[in-house]
């Protein structure tokens, strides 16, 4: 039985990162799981002090069941 997954995605903008998290929250209600934790973090790559690339890393922790759910 799958209990929990932690997924990480790369988003090209902060708005896109927020949209991804919101989609998971809406899907949770419909698909029968819950969100334990969700968030995003800004990352940038620099060369010679100049930002040459940037992204937002989205992390979503989905919980599908409890360890003792069917055993007690």
CA 18 centroid distance within chain:
10
Domain boundaries, the chain: 4-63
Give pLDDT, residue 70.
74
- What DSSP designation does 10 have? E
CA distances from 29 to 15, 19, 26, 48, 70 (A): 22, 16, 6, 46, 21
Beta bridge partners of 36: none
Q: What distance in Å separates the CA atoms of residue 12 and residue 8, rounded to the nearest whole number? A: 13
Per-residue pLDDT of the chain (72 residues; tens, 9 = 90+): 889 999 999 999 999 999 999 999 999 989 989 999 999 999 999 999 999 999 999 999 999 988 887 776
């Amino acid at each position: 039985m799958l209990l929990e997954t932690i997924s990480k995605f790369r988003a090209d903008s902060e708005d896109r990162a927020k949209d991804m998290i919101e989609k998971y929250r809406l899907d949770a209600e419909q698909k029968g799981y819950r969100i334990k934790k969700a968030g995003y973090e800004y990352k940038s790559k620099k060369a010679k002090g100049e930002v040459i690339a940037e992204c937002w890393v989205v992390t979503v922790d989905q919980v599908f069941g409890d360890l003792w759910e069917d055993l007690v």
